[in-house]
Amino acid sequence: MWFRNSIFIFGTFLLLASCRESGSTGPNSTGRGSEIILVCSQPKWDGPVGNTIREALMRNMQGLPEAEPEYTLIFIPEKKFGKILQTHRNILFIDINPENTNSKVETLRNVWSHPQRVIKIKAGSDTAFINIFTTHSDAIRELFNQNERARFRVQNGLSQNLLAEKLLAEQFGLKMVISKDFYLAKKTSDFVWLRAETNANSLGLLIYTFPYTDTTQMNPASVLSTRDHFTKLYIPGPLDGSYMTLEHEYDKPVSRKMLFNNMFALETRGLWKTHGDFMGGPFINYTIVDAPRNRIIVFDGYVYYPNKSKRNYIRQLESIIWGAEFTNPLKMK
């Protein structure tokens, strides 16, 4: 598993290394969250090429209670792609032509707007396209994921909770952009709970830390047990004696090893529920070995939005987490 993940990271690096950034200082990008414009011919969209793209980019996002595709694809025939669509945030061009003697993936940023990701794939035949797209589909999806996080980072930075950011810097040695939508709900020496509440939904961000002792702390079972420990202590439900815990019966959490800011980490997606009540929803957890500080630090975001789409809210939490920067350990209090 770790070997396959390493290949995925390396493949993403190769695409990033080939990325070109336009000198455009155009307008803010447009489009709904988790939406990709796909530009190709109608026959390609209706045939095996379109099926291959849909299988890769519209697969269900892991860790959600209801089936939701990772991306919504908007098909645009080549002749209808004009200036009005050029500012869209995510654009995928497919060029299949016998004159294309070599298959190629070209990635660009901020061509007509910002933040924007444009990916162009050229191939000489349907078979050649399917081969190159299948090879790079994980990396292509990750590039679009990064751009979605960039969109939320722009939004988060428009109105910041400077007090919360100062607290995270002083307590955990973290530089993070926290929107004013979030307020401090709980704080201890090793745990912070930030919440964003509306009449319709609730988002939460948990950050907690503990000493690193050995590698067993990073196996999936240990990560989930630690999460249950902290949520039982600090995340109460609406009724006396109720608290947040993991949902194991409905759907099991899924984990993958990865690098987070060049540190070993375990990403876990799954569902939470409220012991003693009926609330529940998805969560995303990043458990990270912070070796310079000899600690494990955990970022955990959760969503409560019953019977509504949660995909973009999970991405919003991911954007906050992935924007975290670690300060010099000597400056920590």
Q: For the residues of 104-139, what is the DSSP string, one character each? A: EEEEEESSSSBS-EEEEEEESSHHHHHHHHHHHHHH
pLDDT of residue 10: 41
pLDDT of residue 223: 98
CB atoms within 10 A of CB 257: 17
Q: Concatenated DSSP letters for 34-88?
A: TEEEEEE-HHHHHSHHHHHHHHHHSSBPTT-SS--BS-EEEEEEGGG--HHHHTB
pLDDT of residue 155: 87
- Report all structural domains of the chain as residue ranges with CATH numbers, in order of start: 2-156 (no CATH), 160-331 (3.40.1000.10)
Q: Put residue 163 in one of left, alpha, beta given phi > 0 → left and psi -120 to 50 → alpha.
A: alpha
pLDDT of residue 332: 44
Structural tokens at position 15: 């695409």
pLDDT below 70 — which residues of the chain? 1-25, 328-333
Which pTM value belongs to this model? 0.89
pLDDT of residue 248: 83
pLDDT of residue 331: 46
Nearest to 205 by CA among 233, 229, 176: 176
C-alpha dist (Å) from residue 307 to 32, 33, 119, 278, 327: 20, 18, 34, 13, 40
Q: For 205-255, write each residue's pLDDT tens digit.
A: 999 999 999 999 999 999 999 999 999 999 999 999 999 999 988 889 999
Structural tokens at position 78: 């080549």
pLDDT of residue 11: 47
pLDDT of residue 16: 46
pLDDT of residue 157: 86
On whether the CB atoms of residues 310 and 282 are closer than 8 A, the answer is yes
Q: How far is CA 304 from the centre of its chain?
A: 17
Query: What DSSP element (H or E) covers 143?
Result: helix 126-158
Which distant-in-sequence residues (6+ apart) come within 8 Å of 62 by Cβ? 254, 269
